[in-house]
Chain A
Amino acid sequence: AQSVTQPDIHITVSEGASLELRCNYSYGATPYLFWYVQSPGQGLQLLLKYFSGDTLVQGIKGFEAEFKRSQSSFNLRKPSVHWSDAAEYFCAWYSSASKIIFGSGTRLSIRP
């Protein structure tokens, strides 16, 4: 079945350190992929999206993601995290009829 998988449930990084959150997809063709962020007590906000073309996608808040077909991955990265980046991050893919399917999420904690 087509899906996205986020293998890490919870990650803790130190403030100022680099970050990489993993997302693997299972899909025959090139999927449309998204990363959303959910701050505590809030709804979700789109960080970035990939449709086609350049495999390195820039998003808001200094985040980027790289689409790697050979690894079926769409990992989210940030070179230096801030305490305000503590949140839950969801990888998602476009299914059909404007439906988006979300992964199970990765909770990011920041160590002072």
Chain B
Amino acid sequence: NAGVTQTPKFRVLKTGQSMTLLCAQDMNHEYMYWYRQDPGMGLRLIHYSVGEGTTAKGEVPDGYNVSRLKKQNFLLGLESAAPSQTSVYFCASSTTGEVAEQYFGPGTRLTVT
């Protein structure tokens, strides 16, 4: 049981380049989330999904797009990377319900130069 996996683990981009981060979960969870973590700011929610085919904006959605074509996958896209998007990105998933535990992936460290 792999839980939540993220691909890639590390990436360096030049300003203006695009990329997609892949999150996969094998726990049949309905909800999935993308966060970014910056020093001193905790985790901030970028986008989330409450089911296959649905997405919604979180706290800091600008500059990112997401898709949830399959229940087990949640993709985060950067169309035109900016240095301000240098961060560690975490994916998480959970079952339905108000207080369900979120299970986190190991993170992707992205540097935009």
Q: Interface of A with B (CB < 8 Å)? A: 9, 32, 41-46, 49, 51, 90, 94, 97-105
* Contact (Cβ within 8 A) A104 B42: yes
CB–CB B99/A103 < 8 A: no
B side interface size, CB within 8 A:
29
With A44-B104, A49-B99, A97-B56: A9-B40 Cβ-Cβ less than 8 Å: yes
CB distance from A21 to the nearest CB of B (A): 14
> In the complex, A21→B5 CA distance in Å?
30
Of all chain A residues, the one with the shortest Cβ separation from B94 is: A98
Interface, chain B (partner A; CB < 8 A): 4, 31, 33, 35, 40-45, 48, 50, 56, 58-59, 90, 92, 94, 96-102, 104-107
* A98→B43 contact, CB < 8 A: no
Please pick, from B4, B90, B100, B105, the residue contacting A98 in the complex, using a CB distance under 8 A: B100
Minimum C-beta distance from A58 to chain B (A): 15
